[in-house]
Structure 1
Amino acid sequence: MGTEQLIKLIINTAYEVRSHLVAGYIECVYKKALLLELGEAGLKVEDEVELPVQYKGHVIGNFRADIIVEGSVIIELKAVAHLLPAHEIQLVNYLTIAKKDNGLLINFGAAERLEIKRKYRVYTPHI
């Protein structure tokens, strides 16, 4: 499965979760449901993946990626009223540390609709 097809499948599963679980739950509820949906779709999923933060060759801390799908797409989940730039920066940091190119920031907490932002490790402008 190609990256674009994988991204579309992940987004579709997120919408499936949202159709059953509206805004108001805590993040881990949405995460468990999304993990179930992704698994039922036949995808390999990793939960709470520890990503070591290095500084000058020394591990100085760790981040935890919510979900990594098929070893290539990091999903960062939120259950907040609105996504903030800090949430996007967090995902890009995860992508950089894990050396993954594609990530999805998915917010189940917005009252009106599911919020999804796709982020990349490296920005390449299309000229």
Structure 2
Amino acid sequence: MSIDEISSAVIEESIGIHRELGPGLFESIYETVLAGRLEKRGLLVQRQVPVPIEFDGHAFGAAFKIDILVDERLILEIKSVEQLSKAHAKQLLTYLRLTQQPVGLLLNFSAATMRDGIRRMVNNYRPD
């Protein structure tokens, strides 16, 4: 499955979850439900993936955690905030760069509509 097909599946499921549950719940709830829906589709889903980094000669074990990693190549950053900020986008771009992953989705489940809460971020992406 191409990364674009995986992204489409994530977006479809996110929209469905938003319609069913509505906005305003904790991020952990959306993360859990979305992971389950993606697994039902047969996708490899990992939650709260610790990512080590090395900087200036020092190793940091779990420097940060990826909310959801799909098929070992699509990073999902789950938010439940009034409005996405530039800091949220920068966070995901940094995750993509440090993990050398091509594509990430920033998903804000507190947006009025889920379509308004989706941002696709790319890191030197080349289609499959």
Fold match, TM over 0.5?
A: yes
What TM-score do the two structures reach when normalised by structure 2? 0.90
Match of 2:45 in 1: 45
How far apart are the structure 2 equivalents of 1:96 and 1:47?
A: 19
Alignment of 1:71-86 (within 5 A): 71-86=72-87
Specify the SS of the correspondent of 1:68: strand
Offset, 1:53 = 2.5
Offset, 1:58 = 2.1
Sequence identity (%): 32
Alignment gaps of 5+ in structure 1: none
Offset, 1:55 = 0.8
Alignment gaps of 5+ in structure 2: none
Aligned residues: 123
Match of 2:65 in 1: 64
Q: CA RMSD in A?
A: 1.5
Higher relative contact order (CA 8 A, sep 6+): 2
Q: Is the 8 A contact 1:52 1:97 kept in 2?
A: no
How far apart are the structure 2 equivalents of 1:39 and 1:105?
A: 19
Q: Is the 8 A contact 2:103 2:125 kept in 1?
A: no
Query: Deviations 1:68-124 (Å, cap 9, x if unpaired)?
Result: 0000100000000100000000001111111101000000012x1110000012379
Query: Deviations 1:10-30 (Å, cap 9, x if unpaired)?
Result: 111111111111011111111
**Dislocated runs of 4+, deviation >3 Å:** none
